């Protein structure tokens, strides 16, 4: 009897661990409605540090052979992006929306809960239009303030797709960065390929 109890406890622990660390939530709007692919975000979307035809939205459009709208505004916080969501995203019949937001909140000491309340609202409003959402997360070692876990919580709570660290392997590489936080054209090309990989099954 004791052995059976131990086995049952072990199974429960394994199930809980698997659900916490390995299960991903169902994707919201896997068969999206709408027509347009929109990149919505801050300077990482706008393309700061590279030419206009070298931003990741421009590179992505070339990769997939479709028009991609660049709705990036350098310096945008999640609060500022939320204010322009209707004008720059929802009014354009979105099918797939790619988001890079949170970096300016992180650097500007905006509380994590406040930033992700805004980001959650953005994702949910886009989902309500029937569009698929992909979020490119930001992970800054030693200066995270809980943002890394908050991106993962956002994925679990909304069903958006998540690239946990869109700048992985870029920061600190002089051949891929124009400054400490912005890629150059080659860096944006890597970002574009990462987003392409996520959206390819939904095009």
Rounded Cα gap, residues 10 and 38, in angstroms: 46
Q: What was the pLDDT predicted at 56?
A: 98
Rounded Cα gap, residues 17 and 10, in angstroms: 11
Q: What was the pLDDT predicted at 182?
A: 97
Higher per-residue pLDDT: 22 or 115: 115
Name the average pLDDT for the chain.
90
Nearest partner of 129 among 86, 77, 98, 161, judged by Cα? 86
Residue 2 lies in a domain: no
Residue 127 lies in a domain: yes
Residue 186 lies in a domain: yes
Mean pLDDT, residues 174-178 = 97
Residue 19 lies in a domain: no
Q: What was the pLDDT predicted at 58?
A: 98
What's the pLDDT band for 189 if we cut at 50, 70, 90?
Answer: very high
- Residue 178 belongs to domain with CATH number: 3.40.50.1110
Q: Residue 87 pLDDT more than 90?
A: yes
Q: Residue 17 pLDDT more than 50?
A: no
Q: Residue 10 pLDDT more than 70?
A: no
CB proximity list for 197: less than 8 A, separation 6 or greater: none
Which structural domain, as residue segments, surrounds residue 126? 35-202
Residue 118 lies in a domain: yes
Total of domains in the chain:
1
Residue 140 lies in a domain: yes
Asked if residue 151 lies in contact with residue 137, where contact means CB atoms within 8 angstroms, the answer is yes
Higher per-residue pLDDT: 4 or 89: 89
């Amino acid at each position: 009897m004791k052995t059976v109890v131990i086995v049952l406890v072990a199974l429960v622990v394994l199930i809980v661990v698997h659900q916490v660390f390995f299960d991903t939530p169902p994707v919201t709007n896997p068969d999206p409605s709408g027509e347009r692919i929109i990149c919505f975000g801050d300077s990482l979307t706008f393309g700061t540090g590279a030419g206009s035809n070298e931003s990741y939205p421009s590179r992505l459009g070339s990769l997939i052979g479709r028009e991609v709208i660049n709705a990036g505004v350098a310096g945008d916080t999640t609060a500022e992006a939320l204010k322009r969501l209707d004008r720059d995203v929802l009014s354009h019949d979105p099918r797939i929306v790619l988001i890079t937001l949170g970096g300016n909140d992180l650097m500007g000491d905006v509380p994590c809960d406040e930033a992700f309340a805004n980001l959650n609202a953005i994702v949910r409003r886009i989902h309500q239009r029937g569009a698929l959402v992909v979020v490119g997360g930001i992970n800054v070692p030693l200066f995270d303030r809980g943002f890394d876990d908050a991106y993962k919580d956002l994925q679990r709570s909304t069903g958006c797709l998540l690239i946990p660290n869109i700048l992985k392997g870029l920061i600190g590489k002089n051949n891929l960065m124009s400054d400490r936080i912005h890629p150059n054209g080659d860096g944006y090309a890597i970002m574009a390929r990462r987003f392409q990989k996520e959206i390819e099954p939904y095009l």
